[in-house]
Chains A and B, each alone.
Chain A
Amino acid sequence: MAVLISKEKCKGCSLCVKACPFAAIDMVEKKAVINDKCTMCGTCVEACKFGAIIKEEETKEKDLSSYKDVWVFAEQRAGVITPVVFELLGKGRDLAAGIGGVSLCAILLGENLEDMTRQLFEAGADIVYTAESSLLENYTSDGYTKVISEAINEFKPEIVLYGATHIGRDLAPRIAARVNTGLTADCTKLEIDPETKGILQTRPAFGGNLMATIKCPDHRPQMSTVRPGVMDKAPVEAGRTGKVVPVTLNLQESDIRTKVLEIVKTAKDMVSLTDAEIIVSGGAGLGDASGFDLIRRFADKVGGVVGASRAAVDSGWIDHSHQVGQTGTTVKPKIYIACGISGAIQHLAGMQTSDVIIAVNKNPLAPIFDVADYGIVGDLYKVIPELMEAWK
Protein backbone atom coordinates (compact mmCIF):
# COMPACT_ATOMS: atom_id res chain seq x y z
CA MET A 1 0.00 0.00 0.00
CA ALA A 2 1.40 3.37 -0.87
CA VAL A 3 0.62 6.98 -1.59
CA LEU A 4 1.53 7.71 -5.22
CA ILE A 5 2.00 11.04 -6.96
CA SER A 6 1.54 11.20 -10.71
CA LYS A 7 4.41 13.21 -12.21
CA GLU A 8 2.32 14.14 -15.20
CA LYS A 9 -0.58 15.49 -13.21
CA CYS A 10 1.56 17.20 -10.56
CA LYS A 11 1.69 20.94 -11.22
CA GLY A 12 4.21 21.72 -8.49
CA CYS A 13 1.77 23.96 -6.62
CA SER A 14 2.96 22.68 -3.18
CA LEU A 15 -0.55 22.57 -1.70
CA CYS A 16 0.10 18.99 -0.62
CA VAL A 17 3.39 19.96 1.04
CA LYS A 18 1.59 22.53 3.17
CA ALA A 19 -1.29 20.20 3.98
CA CYS A 20 0.81 17.28 5.18
CA PRO A 21 0.76 17.05 9.00
CA PHE A 22 3.95 14.98 9.05
CA ALA A 23 6.24 17.01 6.71
CA ALA A 24 6.37 13.92 4.49
CA ILE A 25 6.32 15.64 1.09
CA ASP A 26 9.27 17.41 -0.53
CA MET A 27 9.38 19.46 -3.72
CA VAL A 28 12.08 18.03 -5.98
CA GLU A 29 12.57 19.92 -9.24
CA LYS A 30 9.06 21.38 -9.05
CA LYS A 31 7.37 17.99 -8.51
CA ALA A 32 6.04 16.64 -5.23
CA VAL A 33 7.81 13.58 -3.86
CA ILE A 34 6.77 11.50 -0.83
CA ASN A 35 9.52 10.83 1.75
CA ASP A 36 10.06 8.44 4.69
CA LYS A 37 7.80 10.26 7.10
CA CYS A 38 4.59 9.32 5.25
CA THR A 39 1.97 7.67 7.43
CA MET A 40 -0.59 7.14 4.65
CA CYS A 41 -3.08 9.45 6.33
CA GLY A 42 -4.35 10.60 2.94
CA THR A 43 -4.58 14.29 3.80
CA CYS A 44 -2.57 15.11 0.66
CA VAL A 45 -5.00 13.16 -1.50
CA GLU A 46 -7.77 15.47 -0.37
CA ALA A 47 -5.61 18.59 -0.66
CA CYS A 48 -4.48 18.07 -4.28
CA LYS A 49 -6.68 20.11 -6.65
CA PHE A 50 -5.39 18.26 -9.70
CA GLY A 51 -6.12 14.69 -8.67
CA ALA A 52 -2.42 13.90 -8.90
CA ILE A 53 -2.26 11.91 -5.67
CA ILE A 54 -3.83 8.55 -5.06
CA LYS A 55 -3.67 6.06 -2.25
CA GLU A 56 -3.10 2.60 -3.57
CA GLU A 57 -4.97 0.02 -1.57
CA GLU A 58 -3.73 -3.50 -1.20
CA THR A 59 -6.47 -6.04 -1.49
CA LYS A 60 -5.75 -8.94 0.76
CA GLU A 61 -8.13 -11.83 0.64
CA LYS A 62 -8.61 -12.87 4.23
CA ASP A 63 -11.43 -15.00 5.44
CA LEU A 64 -12.85 -13.15 8.38
CA SER A 65 -16.38 -14.53 8.07
CA SER A 66 -16.07 -16.66 11.19
CA TYR A 67 -16.01 -13.48 13.30
CA LYS A 68 -19.46 -12.32 14.33
CA ASP A 69 -21.16 -10.15 16.91
CA VAL A 70 -20.47 -6.89 18.64
CA TRP A 71 -19.00 -7.12 22.12
CA VAL A 72 -18.77 -4.57 24.87
CA PHE A 73 -16.33 -4.99 27.74
CA ALA A 74 -18.54 -4.51 30.80
CA GLU A 75 -16.06 -2.81 33.11
CA GLN A 76 -17.05 -2.98 36.75
CA ARG A 77 -15.41 -1.76 39.93
CA ALA A 78 -16.51 -3.11 43.30
CA GLY A 79 -19.67 -4.52 41.78
CA VAL A 80 -20.71 -1.28 40.07
CA ILE A 81 -20.76 -1.20 36.30
CA THR A 82 -18.82 1.83 35.03
CA PRO A 83 -21.31 4.26 33.40
CA VAL A 84 -19.47 4.33 30.07
CA VAL A 85 -20.50 0.69 29.53
CA PHE A 86 -24.12 1.78 29.03
CA GLU A 87 -23.00 4.30 26.45
CA LEU A 88 -21.06 1.56 24.66
CA LEU A 89 -24.11 -0.66 24.66
CA GLY A 90 -26.11 2.17 23.11
CA LYS A 91 -23.56 2.58 20.32
CA GLY A 92 -23.04 -1.18 20.09
CA ARG A 93 -26.71 -1.62 19.30
CA ASP A 94 -26.35 0.84 16.37
CA LEU A 95 -23.30 -1.00 15.07
CA ALA A 96 -25.00 -4.38 15.33
CA ALA A 97 -27.96 -2.98 13.41
CA GLY A 98 -25.63 -1.56 10.79
CA ILE A 99 -24.03 -4.94 10.22
CA GLY A 100 -27.31 -6.81 10.40
CA GLY A 101 -27.98 -10.28 11.74
CA VAL A 102 -25.54 -10.12 14.65
CA SER A 103 -25.94 -9.96 18.41
CA LEU A 104 -24.92 -7.29 20.89
CA CYS A 105 -22.99 -8.96 23.71
CA ALA A 106 -21.28 -7.95 26.89
CA ILE A 107 -18.31 -9.63 28.55
CA LEU A 108 -18.33 -9.39 32.32
CA LEU A 109 -15.54 -10.42 34.70
CA GLY A 110 -15.57 -10.46 38.48
CA GLU A 111 -17.53 -11.98 41.32
CA ASN A 112 -21.25 -12.02 42.15
CA LEU A 113 -22.22 -11.18 38.60
CA GLU A 114 -26.00 -11.76 38.78
CA ASP A 115 -27.20 -8.26 39.36
CA MET A 116 -24.75 -6.74 36.92
CA THR A 117 -25.76 -9.31 34.31
CA ARG A 118 -29.36 -8.26 34.72
CA GLN A 119 -28.45 -4.60 34.22
CA LEU A 120 -26.58 -5.46 31.04
CA PHE A 121 -29.58 -7.30 29.58
CA GLU A 122 -31.85 -4.39 30.46
CA ALA A 123 -29.46 -2.06 28.66
CA GLY A 124 -29.73 -4.09 25.47
CA ALA A 125 -27.21 -6.93 25.57
CA ASP A 126 -28.49 -10.09 23.89
CA ILE A 127 -25.77 -12.28 25.37
CA VAL A 128 -23.62 -11.77 28.46
CA TYR A 129 -20.39 -13.77 28.52
CA THR A 130 -19.37 -14.27 32.10
CA ALA A 131 -16.11 -15.08 33.81
CA GLU A 132 -16.66 -15.54 37.51
CA SER A 133 -13.69 -15.96 39.80
CA SER A 134 -12.31 -14.48 42.98
CA LEU A 135 -9.10 -13.88 41.04
CA LEU A 136 -11.04 -11.43 38.87
CA GLU A 137 -12.65 -9.49 41.71
CA ASN A 138 -10.27 -6.57 41.19
CA TYR A 139 -8.89 -5.59 37.83
CA THR A 140 -5.40 -6.82 36.99
CA SER A 141 -3.76 -6.49 33.58
CA ASP A 142 -2.67 -10.12 33.56
CA GLY A 143 -5.93 -11.64 34.77
CA TYR A 144 -8.29 -9.68 32.56
CA THR A 145 -6.04 -9.83 29.50
CA LYS A 146 -5.80 -13.61 29.71
CA VAL A 147 -9.50 -14.25 30.26
CA ILE A 148 -10.76 -11.84 27.62
CA SER A 149 -8.17 -12.84 25.01
CA GLU A 150 -9.06 -16.47 25.46
CA ALA A 151 -12.77 -15.63 25.24
CA ILE A 152 -12.12 -13.70 22.04
CA ASN A 153 -10.32 -16.69 20.57
CA GLU A 154 -13.11 -18.96 21.76
CA PHE A 155 -16.09 -16.97 20.56
CA LYS A 156 -14.62 -14.80 17.79
CA PRO A 157 -16.43 -11.44 18.02
CA GLU A 158 -16.01 -9.10 15.05
CA ILE A 159 -16.03 -5.91 17.15
CA VAL A 160 -15.05 -5.28 20.78
CA LEU A 161 -15.65 -1.91 22.45
CA TYR A 162 -14.00 -0.72 25.68
CA GLY A 163 -14.47 2.43 27.71
CA ALA A 164 -11.36 4.63 27.53
CA THR A 165 -11.04 4.63 31.29
CA HIS A 166 -7.83 4.06 33.21
CA ILE A 167 -8.72 0.38 33.13
CA GLY A 168 -9.76 0.28 29.48
CA ARG A 169 -6.59 2.01 28.34
CA ASP A 170 -4.49 -0.43 30.32
CA LEU A 171 -6.38 -3.51 29.15
CA ALA A 172 -7.37 -3.00 25.52
CA PRO A 173 -3.84 -2.51 24.10
CA ARG A 174 -2.60 -5.59 25.89
CA ILE A 175 -5.46 -7.67 24.50
CA ALA A 176 -4.92 -6.26 21.01
CA ALA A 177 -1.29 -7.31 21.14
CA ARG A 178 -2.09 -10.76 22.49
CA VAL A 179 -4.79 -11.41 19.92
CA ASN A 180 -2.79 -9.73 17.14
CA THR A 181 -5.38 -7.23 16.06
CA GLY A 182 -5.81 -3.50 15.65
CA LEU A 183 -7.01 -1.10 18.34
CA THR A 184 -8.12 2.50 17.88
CA ALA A 185 -8.15 4.71 20.96
CA ASP A 186 -10.49 7.47 22.13
CA CYS A 187 -12.95 7.18 19.27
CA THR A 188 -15.45 10.00 19.06
CA LYS A 189 -17.48 8.43 16.28
CA LEU A 190 -18.14 4.81 15.28
CA GLU A 191 -19.98 3.74 12.15
CA ILE A 192 -20.35 0.73 9.92
CA ASP A 193 -19.14 1.01 6.33
CA PRO A 194 -22.21 -0.13 4.38
CA GLU A 195 -20.09 -1.81 1.68
CA THR A 196 -17.60 -3.77 3.73
CA LYS A 197 -19.63 -3.99 6.96
CA GLY A 198 -16.39 -3.10 8.67
CA ILE A 199 -16.15 -0.50 11.40
CA LEU A 200 -15.05 3.09 10.71
CA GLN A 201 -13.53 4.66 13.81
CA THR A 202 -13.03 8.42 13.97
CA ARG A 203 -10.71 9.88 16.56
CA PRO A 204 -8.75 13.06 17.32
CA ALA A 205 -4.98 13.28 16.90
CA PHE A 206 -2.41 16.07 17.18
CA GLY A 207 -4.01 17.26 20.39
CA GLY A 208 -7.41 17.52 18.72
CA ASN A 209 -6.19 19.53 15.74
CA LEU A 210 -6.63 16.65 13.32
CA MET A 211 -9.37 14.03 13.00
CA ALA A 212 -8.63 10.63 11.51
CA THR A 213 -11.01 7.90 10.42
CA ILE A 214 -9.43 4.50 10.93
CA LYS A 215 -10.39 1.07 9.70
CA CYS A 216 -9.10 -2.40 10.51
CA PRO A 217 -9.74 -4.32 7.31
CA ASP A 218 -7.70 -7.50 7.67
CA HIS A 219 -7.74 -8.32 11.36
CA ARG A 220 -10.40 -9.39 13.81
CA PRO A 221 -11.79 -8.40 16.17
CA GLN A 222 -11.86 -4.71 15.33
CA MET A 223 -11.38 -3.00 18.67
CA SER A 224 -12.04 0.54 19.86
CA THR A 225 -11.87 2.43 23.11
CA VAL A 226 -14.38 5.21 23.60
CA ARG A 227 -14.21 8.12 26.06
CA PRO A 228 -16.97 8.40 28.65
CA GLY A 229 -19.57 11.03 27.80
CA VAL A 230 -19.20 10.77 24.05
CA MET A 231 -21.84 8.23 23.02
CA ASP A 232 -25.50 8.19 24.00
CA LYS A 233 -26.61 5.86 26.75
CA ALA A 234 -28.65 2.83 25.82
CA PRO A 235 -32.33 3.06 26.78
CA VAL A 236 -33.19 0.78 29.71
CA GLU A 237 -35.84 -1.87 29.17
CA ALA A 238 -36.78 -3.19 32.58
CA GLY A 239 -37.29 -6.93 32.74
CA ARG A 240 -35.47 -7.64 29.49
CA THR A 241 -33.36 -10.79 29.60
CA GLY A 242 -30.97 -12.68 27.40
CA LYS A 243 -28.53 -15.56 27.26
CA VAL A 244 -25.77 -16.08 29.80
CA VAL A 245 -22.69 -17.84 28.42
CA PRO A 246 -19.88 -18.61 30.86
CA VAL A 247 -16.46 -18.53 29.17
CA THR A 248 -14.01 -21.37 29.58
CA LEU A 249 -11.89 -20.22 32.49
CA ASN A 250 -8.25 -21.34 32.66
CA LEU A 251 -7.08 -18.76 35.14
CA GLN A 252 -4.66 -19.59 37.95
CA GLU A 253 -3.19 -17.39 40.65
CA SER A 254 0.27 -17.74 39.13
CA ASP A 255 -1.02 -16.12 35.91
CA ILE A 256 -1.42 -12.83 37.72
CA ARG A 257 2.00 -11.30 38.37
CA THR A 258 0.98 -8.04 40.05
CA LYS A 259 -0.61 -7.69 43.47
CA VAL A 260 -3.17 -5.02 44.28
CA LEU A 261 -2.38 -4.05 47.85
CA GLU A 262 -4.91 -1.26 48.30
CA ILE A 263 -7.58 0.67 46.42
CA VAL A 264 -8.26 4.17 47.73
CA LYS A 265 -10.90 6.73 46.75
CA THR A 266 -9.86 10.32 47.32
CA ALA A 267 -11.92 13.47 47.65
CA LYS A 268 -11.27 15.97 44.87
CA ASP A 269 -8.57 18.44 45.81
CA MET A 270 -8.63 22.12 45.04
CA VAL A 271 -8.10 22.39 41.32
CA SER A 272 -5.96 25.14 39.93
CA LEU A 273 -7.16 27.45 37.15
CA THR A 274 -4.86 25.88 34.60
CA ASP A 275 -6.10 22.36 35.32
CA ALA A 276 -9.77 23.21 35.68
CA GLU A 277 -12.24 21.74 33.22
CA ILE A 278 -14.89 24.34 33.98
CA ILE A 279 -14.24 27.94 34.99
CA VAL A 280 -16.91 30.40 36.10
CA SER A 281 -15.52 33.92 35.91
CA GLY A 282 -16.85 37.16 37.31
CA GLY A 283 -16.11 40.70 36.14
CA ALA A 284 -16.96 44.35 36.68
CA GLY A 285 -20.58 43.63 35.77
CA LEU A 286 -21.06 41.98 39.17
CA GLY A 287 -21.26 45.43 40.69
CA ASP A 288 -19.57 44.61 43.97
CA ALA A 289 -17.69 41.96 45.92
CA SER A 290 -20.82 40.14 47.04
CA GLY A 291 -21.40 39.20 43.41
CA PHE A 292 -18.70 36.57 43.85
CA ASP A 293 -20.91 34.70 46.31
CA LEU A 294 -23.14 33.90 43.36
CA ILE A 295 -20.14 33.05 41.18
CA ARG A 296 -18.81 30.69 43.84
CA ARG A 297 -22.13 28.94 44.20
CA PHE A 298 -22.38 28.60 40.44
CA ALA A 299 -18.86 27.18 40.29
CA ASP A 300 -19.60 24.71 43.08
CA LYS A 301 -22.81 23.62 41.37
CA VAL A 302 -21.06 22.83 38.10
CA GLY A 303 -17.88 21.44 39.64
CA GLY A 304 -15.80 24.31 38.39
CA VAL A 305 -13.21 26.80 39.58
CA VAL A 306 -13.74 30.53 40.15
CA GLY A 307 -11.99 32.97 37.81
CA ALA A 308 -12.07 36.75 37.61
CA SER A 309 -11.33 39.61 35.29
CA ARG A 310 -8.70 42.18 36.14
CA ALA A 311 -11.32 44.80 36.90
CA ALA A 312 -12.81 42.62 39.62
CA VAL A 313 -9.42 41.87 41.14
CA ASP A 314 -8.32 45.50 41.09
CA SER A 315 -11.54 46.51 42.83
CA GLY A 316 -10.49 44.20 45.62
CA TRP A 317 -13.45 41.86 45.19
CA ILE A 318 -11.35 38.74 44.87
CA ASP A 319 -7.73 37.66 45.19
CA HIS A 320 -5.32 38.03 42.27
CA SER A 321 -4.79 34.27 42.13
CA HIS A 322 -8.16 34.01 40.39
CA GLN A 323 -7.31 36.52 37.68
CA VAL A 324 -7.61 35.27 34.11
CA GLY A 325 -6.00 37.30 31.38
CA GLN A 326 -2.83 38.88 30.06
CA THR A 327 -1.56 39.82 33.48
CA GLY A 328 -3.21 36.88 35.20
CA THR A 329 -3.40 33.20 34.26
CA THR A 330 -3.97 31.82 30.77
CA VAL A 331 -6.56 29.05 30.76
CA LYS A 332 -8.00 26.54 28.30
CA PRO A 333 -10.89 24.78 30.05
CA LYS A 334 -13.67 22.74 28.46
CA ILE A 335 -16.19 25.39 29.46
CA TYR A 336 -15.52 29.03 30.31
CA ILE A 337 -18.46 31.01 31.62
CA ALA A 338 -17.86 34.79 31.60
CA CYS A 339 -20.32 36.64 33.83
CA GLY A 340 -20.39 40.42 33.66
CA ILE A 341 -17.10 40.51 31.81
CA SER A 342 -16.88 42.92 28.90
CA GLY A 343 -14.17 41.00 27.07
CA ALA A 344 -11.33 43.48 26.79
CA ILE A 345 -8.47 42.09 24.72
CA GLN A 346 -6.31 41.63 27.81
CA HIS A 347 -8.91 39.25 29.26
CA LEU A 348 -9.56 37.45 25.97
CA ALA A 349 -5.84 36.80 25.63
CA GLY A 350 -6.13 34.61 28.68
CA MET A 351 -9.16 32.50 27.78
CA GLN A 352 -10.16 32.68 24.14
CA THR A 353 -8.89 29.18 23.29
CA SER A 354 -11.32 27.56 25.74
CA ASP A 355 -13.36 24.79 24.10
CA VAL A 356 -16.74 26.36 24.81
CA ILE A 357 -17.30 29.95 25.92
CA ILE A 358 -20.57 31.07 27.44
CA ALA A 359 -21.00 34.79 28.09
CA VAL A 360 -23.59 36.66 30.10
CA ASN A 361 -23.54 40.46 29.89
CA LYS A 362 -26.16 43.15 29.80
CA ASN A 363 -24.35 45.07 27.03
CA PRO A 364 -25.02 43.56 23.59
CA LEU A 365 -21.95 45.33 22.20
CA ALA A 366 -19.59 43.77 24.70
CA PRO A 367 -16.63 42.30 22.81
CA ILE A 368 -16.92 39.09 24.81
CA PHE A 369 -19.80 38.13 22.52
CA ASP A 370 -17.39 38.04 19.58
CA VAL A 371 -15.64 35.03 21.02
CA ALA A 372 -18.51 33.39 22.88
CA ASP A 373 -20.10 30.24 21.50
CA TYR A 374 -23.27 31.05 23.42
CA GLY A 375 -24.06 34.58 24.42
CA ILE A 376 -26.90 35.70 26.64
CA VAL A 377 -27.69 39.40 26.80
CA GLY A 378 -29.26 40.05 30.15
CA ASP A 379 -28.94 40.70 33.85
CA LEU A 380 -26.52 38.10 35.18
CA TYR A 381 -28.26 38.11 38.55
CA LYS A 382 -31.35 36.77 36.78
CA VAL A 383 -29.63 34.55 34.21
CA ILE A 384 -27.15 32.75 36.46
CA PRO A 385 -29.75 31.34 38.87
CA GLU A 386 -31.63 30.00 35.85
CA LEU A 387 -28.47 28.42 34.46
CA MET A 388 -27.77 26.85 37.84
CA GLU A 389 -31.31 25.50 37.97
CA ALA A 390 -31.19 24.04 34.48
CA TRP A 391 -27.64 22.63 34.82
CA LYS A 392 -27.67 18.88 35.36
Chain B
Amino acid sequence: MWPGLSKALKAGLTTAAMTAALVALALGNEHLLRATEVTPGVNWIYLPAGIRMCYVLVLPIQGTVAIFGASLLMASREPTFGWALVVSSACVTAAGPVLSRIVAVQRLGLQPNLENLNFVMLWKLAALFGLFSTTLHQAFYASMGREPAFASMWIGDTLGCLLCLYGLKGLAVIWRQWNQRGSV
Protein backbone atom coordinates (compact mmCIF):
# COMPACT_ATOMS: atom_id res chain seq x y z
CA MET B 1 0.00 0.00 0.00
CA TRP B 2 1.16 3.53 -0.82
CA PRO B 3 4.23 2.55 -2.90
CA GLY B 4 6.83 5.27 -3.18
CA LEU B 5 6.12 6.91 0.14
CA SER B 6 8.75 6.74 2.84
CA LYS B 7 8.19 4.65 5.94
CA ALA B 8 8.03 7.74 8.16
CA LEU B 9 5.49 9.43 5.88
CA LYS B 10 3.27 6.34 5.85
CA ALA B 11 3.42 6.16 9.64
CA GLY B 12 2.61 9.88 9.81
CA LEU B 13 -0.37 9.54 7.48
CA THR B 14 -1.67 6.59 9.48
CA THR B 15 -1.36 8.57 12.70
CA ALA B 16 -3.03 11.59 11.08
CA ALA B 17 -5.96 9.43 9.97
CA MET B 18 -6.28 8.01 13.48
CA THR B 19 -6.19 11.55 14.90
CA ALA B 20 -8.87 12.72 12.47
CA ALA B 21 -11.13 9.78 13.38
CA LEU B 22 -10.74 10.52 17.07
CA VAL B 23 -11.45 14.25 16.60
CA ALA B 24 -14.53 13.40 14.51
CA LEU B 25 -15.85 11.08 17.21
CA ALA B 26 -15.09 13.63 19.96
CA LEU B 27 -16.96 16.35 18.04
CA GLY B 28 -19.82 13.94 17.37
CA ASN B 29 -19.99 13.04 21.05
CA GLU B 30 -19.91 16.72 21.97
CA HIS B 31 -22.84 17.62 19.72
CA LEU B 32 -24.98 14.47 19.80
CA LEU B 33 -24.63 13.76 23.53
CA ARG B 34 -24.68 17.34 24.76
CA ALA B 35 -27.56 16.41 27.07
CA THR B 36 -25.26 14.05 28.97
CA GLU B 37 -22.72 16.77 29.81
CA VAL B 38 -22.21 17.20 33.57
CA THR B 39 -19.54 19.89 33.58
CA PRO B 40 -17.29 21.14 30.73
CA GLY B 41 -15.21 18.15 29.60
CA VAL B 42 -17.21 15.64 31.64
CA ASN B 43 -20.03 13.53 30.14
CA TRP B 44 -22.11 10.63 31.44
CA ILE B 45 -21.27 8.96 28.12
CA TYR B 46 -17.93 9.64 26.43
CA LEU B 47 -17.58 7.45 23.31
CA PRO B 48 -14.01 8.46 22.28
CA ALA B 49 -12.75 6.62 25.38
CA GLY B 50 -13.41 3.33 23.55
CA ILE B 51 -11.44 4.36 20.47
CA ARG B 52 -8.58 5.58 22.67
CA MET B 53 -8.46 2.17 24.33
CA CYS B 54 -8.47 0.33 20.99
CA TYR B 55 -5.73 2.61 19.63
CA VAL B 56 -3.42 2.02 22.58
CA LEU B 57 -4.09 -1.72 22.65
CA VAL B 58 -3.33 -2.28 18.96
CA LEU B 59 -0.81 0.47 18.14
CA PRO B 60 0.58 1.81 21.43
CA ILE B 61 2.98 4.42 20.02
CA GLN B 62 0.96 5.70 17.08
CA GLY B 63 -2.19 5.50 19.18
CA THR B 64 -0.68 7.64 21.91
CA VAL B 65 0.51 10.21 19.37
CA ALA B 66 -2.95 10.24 17.78
CA ILE B 67 -4.63 10.74 21.17
CA PHE B 68 -2.18 13.52 21.98
CA GLY B 69 -2.79 15.20 18.62
CA ALA B 70 -6.57 14.90 18.85
CA SER B 71 -6.53 16.27 22.39
CA LEU B 72 -4.36 19.19 21.27
CA LEU B 73 -6.89 20.05 18.57
CA MET B 74 -9.86 19.70 20.90
CA ALA B 75 -8.27 21.64 23.76
CA SER B 76 -7.10 24.45 21.45
CA ARG B 77 -10.79 25.30 20.86
CA GLU B 78 -11.09 26.25 24.53
CA PRO B 79 -10.73 30.07 24.58
CA THR B 80 -9.57 30.23 28.21
CA PHE B 81 -6.69 27.80 27.62
CA GLY B 82 -3.22 29.19 26.90
CA TRP B 83 -0.79 27.04 24.92
CA ALA B 84 0.71 25.61 28.12
CA LEU B 85 -2.69 24.42 29.30
CA VAL B 86 -3.50 23.02 25.87
CA VAL B 87 -0.28 20.97 25.85
CA SER B 88 -0.77 19.93 29.48
CA SER B 89 -4.33 18.82 28.74
CA ALA B 90 -3.14 16.77 25.76
CA CYS B 91 -0.39 15.17 27.86
CA VAL B 92 -2.91 14.22 30.56
CA THR B 93 -5.29 12.75 27.97
CA ALA B 94 -2.54 10.72 26.27
CA ALA B 95 -0.97 9.53 29.53
CA GLY B 96 -4.11 7.83 30.87
CA PRO B 97 -4.42 5.11 28.20
CA VAL B 98 -0.66 4.46 28.19
CA LEU B 99 -0.54 4.01 31.98
CA SER B 100 -3.62 1.79 31.82
CA ARG B 101 -2.01 -0.42 29.20
CA ILE B 102 1.15 -0.74 31.29
CA VAL B 103 -0.86 -1.67 34.39
CA ALA B 104 -3.00 -4.11 32.39
CA VAL B 105 0.11 -5.87 31.08
CA GLN B 106 1.98 -5.88 34.39
CA ARG B 107 -0.85 -6.41 36.89
CA LEU B 108 -3.78 -7.98 35.03
CA GLY B 109 -1.61 -10.37 33.02
CA LEU B 110 -2.61 -9.00 29.62
CA GLN B 111 -0.27 -10.38 26.95
CA PRO B 112 1.34 -7.58 24.87
CA ASN B 113 0.01 -9.17 21.68
CA LEU B 114 -3.46 -9.43 23.35
CA GLU B 115 -3.67 -13.21 22.82
CA ASN B 116 -5.43 -13.72 26.18
CA LEU B 117 -7.85 -10.84 25.67
CA ASN B 118 -11.44 -11.98 26.27
CA PHE B 119 -14.67 -10.16 27.02
CA VAL B 120 -14.11 -10.24 30.80
CA MET B 121 -10.69 -8.67 30.30
CA LEU B 122 -12.26 -6.08 27.97
CA TRP B 123 -14.70 -5.07 30.73
CA LYS B 124 -11.85 -4.81 33.22
CA LEU B 125 -9.81 -2.77 30.75
CA ALA B 126 -12.73 -0.41 30.13
CA ALA B 127 -13.02 0.24 33.87
CA LEU B 128 -9.24 0.57 34.25
CA PHE B 129 -8.88 2.96 31.30
CA GLY B 130 -11.75 5.02 32.68
CA LEU B 131 -10.18 5.07 36.14
CA PHE B 132 -6.78 6.29 34.94
CA SER B 133 -8.23 8.82 32.54
CA THR B 134 -10.58 10.17 35.19
CA THR B 135 -7.95 10.34 37.94
CA LEU B 136 -5.49 12.25 35.75
CA HIS B 137 -8.13 14.57 34.32
CA GLN B 138 -9.69 15.31 37.71
CA ALA B 139 -6.26 16.09 39.16
CA PHE B 140 -5.65 18.41 36.21
CA TYR B 141 -9.05 20.08 36.59
CA ALA B 142 -8.55 20.42 40.36
CA SER B 143 -5.28 22.26 39.73
CA MET B 144 -7.32 24.71 37.62
CA GLY B 145 -9.91 25.15 40.36
CA ARG B 146 -12.76 23.37 38.56
CA GLU B 147 -15.44 21.56 40.56
CA PRO B 148 -14.77 17.82 40.97
CA ALA B 149 -16.81 15.29 38.99
CA PHE B 150 -14.92 12.06 39.54
CA ALA B 151 -17.79 9.57 39.62
CA SER B 152 -19.61 10.96 36.59
CA MET B 153 -16.41 11.10 34.54
CA TRP B 154 -15.40 7.55 35.46
CA ILE B 155 -18.88 6.25 34.63
CA GLY B 156 -18.89 8.30 31.43
CA ASP B 157 -15.53 7.00 30.25
CA THR B 158 -16.28 3.37 31.17
CA LEU B 159 -19.78 3.47 29.71
CA GLY B 160 -18.55 5.23 26.58
CA CYS B 161 -15.80 2.65 26.24
CA LEU B 162 -18.25 -0.25 26.50
CA LEU B 163 -20.76 1.37 24.14
CA CYS B 164 -17.99 1.96 21.64
CA LEU B 165 -16.87 -1.68 21.86
CA TYR B 166 -20.44 -2.91 21.41
CA GLY B 167 -20.79 -0.49 18.50
CA LEU B 168 -17.71 -2.05 16.89
CA LYS B 169 -19.22 -5.49 17.53
CA GLY B 170 -22.44 -4.40 15.80
CA LEU B 171 -20.50 -3.05 12.83
CA ALA B 172 -18.58 -6.34 12.59
CA VAL B 173 -21.86 -8.29 12.57
CA ILE B 174 -23.34 -6.00 9.89
CA TRP B 175 -20.15 -6.33 7.85
CA ARG B 176 -20.31 -10.14 8.09
CA GLN B 177 -23.99 -10.18 7.11
CA TRP B 178 -23.29 -7.81 4.21
CA ASN B 179 -20.60 -10.15 2.92
CA GLN B 180 -22.85 -13.19 3.28
CA ARG B 181 -26.08 -11.61 1.98
CA GLY B 182 -28.22 -13.70 -0.30
CA SER B 183 -26.50 -16.99 0.40
CA VAL B 184 -27.53 -20.10 2.30
- Do A and B belong to a common assembly? no
